Amino acid sequence: MTSYRQPGVVLTDHRFSVPLDHANPSGERIELYGREAVATSKADADLPWLVYLEGGPGFGARRFIGRQAWLGRALEEFRVLLLDQRGTGASTPLNRQTLPLRGGPREQADHLALFRSDNIVRDCEAIRPQLTGGAPWTVLGQSFGGFCAVRYLSAAPEGLATVLITGGLPALHGGPDDVYRAAYPRIERKVAAHYARYPQDVERARRIAEHLAEHRTVLPSGYTLTPEAFQSLGILLGVGSGTHQLHHLLEDAFVPTPGGPELSDAFQEQVAAQLSFAGHPLYALVHEAIYAQDSRPTAWSAERVRAEFPRFDVARILAGDGPLLFTGETIHPWHFTADPSLRPLRESAELLAGRRDWPELYDPARLAVNEVPVAAAVYHDDMYVDTEHSLETARGIRGLHTWVTDEYEHDGVRASGPKVLDRLLALARDEI
């Protein structure tokens, strides 16, 4: 283990070996990376542990500098493990370069099926005794990390002292079709709110989409920017500063050239950075699979359900005079032709979308008799996680304390500094 310091924090790198498939513990193993953080003044203290599960799927734990965001509040009383979930961050990598080591598309799809919340929880239980000596720990789950926390409550509550969830209470029943059927109207509301704040962006967005419909545009990164890909920039609208980021991105899109107006190099670079999955391909590969719980294939759910909302059809929009509707947290087949980091994985993604043997993730009967203290922040009209689904789940988990707020968007636990975590801890302890 290597330890080092940042302002007010002592950090230690941990690497853990866990089974790739926990059903075969003597088989292949993979590596997990976790960064331990403890307040400098408490480096030698005997503190309870808190493990942070990042959102996604497919993102490693956030790399904080010092005591940023919620971490400073956590370090007042916990030793924190910032865990890179399997396949993310500095854990055993999973991407277009490494997946061919598994074999062909079929073998790759079978491998990818092991990267959902059920196995993430098994990983946590495998490493917990090594850190805590067997004592239960507190879990802080953001977004998809909250999905993992609910799985944890269903499968291994004995490992939990407290559960804190921010923007991540999943629907206990149903599948991805239900998720996206609820999502598109929320996305439309977020787009309407953006245009109300920045009415000049109506014309700007439409002009860019028209240009892309008329000119094949390949970004310097190799990403093919179609009108549909441009629409997906709406994913920004789910976080607190997202509407402003999108506005600044649109305002200087074009530059004059001898051949007429063109999308500027600066615009293209910024768009490539927003849209590329090179740093988190697992997000695209298993995003719909995280909702699957039965024998029905996900079958490109977001693409199929989108047909029920023709107002998002870019060809129809451009044929009329209405505003362009951006889309949100949805994955489509075209992602695997547009993005060079995903193109080699298209066939594997197709096979995963056709898979029919998804096990149940949640145990409603066990959740109904839960005894672990749980508190959850539910962000009003969260673009990424449906509020009604979250509240229904909250009612199904015995003893869960819910805080519904419109003060923050989906990234409230980061944007609020210590406030969200502080309130969740107080709720879980019945202090408020």
Per-residue pLDDT tens digits for 103-159? 999 999 999 999 999 999 999 999 999 999 999 999 999 999 999 999 999 999 999
Catalytic residues: 143, 357, 410
Residue 182 CB neighbour total at 10 angstroms: 17
At 295 the pLDDT is 87
CB 163 within 8 A of CB 152: yes
At 2 the pLDDT is 86
Q: Which amino acid type is present at position 8?
A: G
At 432 the pLDDT is 86
Give burial (CB, 10 Å; 0-12/13-18/19+) of 356: exposed
Residue 262 is given by DSSP the state E
For residue 335, give the 3-state DSSP assignment.
Answer: helix
Which among 287, 65, 294, 30 has a CA at the least distance from the CA of 173?
294
CB 187 within 8 A of CB 243: no
On average, the pLDDT of the chain sits at 97
- The CATH classification of domain 2-172+362-428, taken from the options 3.60.20.10, 3.40.50.300, 3.50.30.30, 3.40.50.1820: 3.40.50.1820
At 72 the pLDDT is 97
Statement: residue 294 has pLDDT above 90: no
Residue span(s) of the chain under CATH 3.40.50.1820 come to 2-172+362-428
Tokens standing for 148? 């993992």
Q: What is the pLDDT of residues 365-418, one digit of tens each?
A: 999 999 999 999 999 999 999 999 999 999 999 999 999 999 999 999 999 999
At 111 the pLDDT is 98
This model's pTM is above 0.95 = yes
For residue 254, give the 3-state DSSP assignment.
Answer: strand
